[in-house]
Structure formats: C-alpha cells, structure tokens
Amino acid sequence: MVGGKQEVFDEYKELLETMGSSVTRCGEVGAGNTTKLANQLIVACNIQALAEALTLAQKAGVDPHLVFEAIKGGLAGSTVMNAKAPMMMEGNDTPGFRIDLHIKDLNNVLDCAHSVGAPVPMAAEAQEVLQWLHNQGKGSADHSAMAQYYEKLTGIKIGR
C-alpha cells in the first residue's frame, strides 16, 4: 500500500519488495494511507460480524465449531475468519493485533471519512465495541476479543 509519484515508486519498488510481500502503488501521496484505513475498516467489520455469527449459532443451539467448518470454504470465508474464529472459540485473546491499535486506526478511518463525506456507520459501530473492550481493560488483547463483547451481552462463551 504505497502512495506517491509513479516514477518514485518505480525507482524504489525493488527496495519496498524486500520489506513486504505485497507492494502496490495505490495512487498519489496519501493513497497508501487511505488504502490501509480501508483495510482496517474491513478487518474490524469482519471480526465483528464473525463474533456475532458465532454467538448467533451458539445461542440457537448450533455448535460454532461446526458452523465455522461449514462456512469457511464458502463466500463468507476469509483469512480473517480462518485466523480469528479459532481464537474466539478457544477464548484466546493473545495479541496479534491489539485492540488499542485498532481503535487508533478506526479513529483515523472516521476522521478520513468525515473529511471526505463518506458514510461509515459500520466503522463507528466496530469502534464502539473496541472502545468498550478497552474500557474493560482489554486494550492490549487481540482484536478477536470482540467476541468477548458478545459473550458479555449473552452470558455465553463462544464454542466453550
């Protein structure tokens, strides 16, 4: 996710490729940052939707482990789901990407969206869930701890 002049990108692309597995010029200066914000918005909303779906399954009497197995290869499947569903069902919130960092990123998403007039209600909702977790002392936990918000609301432990 790079922003800048094409000729500068072309000059430094090989160097950038030594630092990351994927190097894509997304436009002029600032475009890389906006792309990162779009990524973080999608990740947060995917994690929140996953937590809601696994909670729904369990509350309806369906084993969340079986739901995960059934849907992970379909359209709902994603890298996020494959990484975070097992963590949620194990109650594992060992940080990979911390809640406080995701809060920072979603603050930036909201600032960017407000400045350009883009509606992002899902970002705002995910931000509220993450902020609640932060206020519960979970700021250093992995963002998959979003499942714990739903566990608190429902009184269940997803998959356990």
Rounded Cα distance between 31 and 10, Å, is: 16
- Kindly name the residue from 5, 36, 59, 104 that is annotated as catalytic: 36
The kind and range of the H/E element at 3 are: strand 2-3
**Residue 157 annotated among the catalytic residues of the structure:** no
Helix H segments across 24-136?
A: 31-59, 64-71, 79-90, 99-116, 121-133
- Kindly tell me the sign of the dihedral angle through the C-alpha atoms of 116, 121, 125, 126: negative
CA dihedral 48, 112, 103, 80 (to 10 degrees): 40
Neighbours of 11 (CB within 10 A): 10
Q: What crossing angle do the helices spanning 146-154 and 31-59 adopt, rounded to 10°?
A: 30
User: Which residues are catalytic, by number?
Assistant: 36
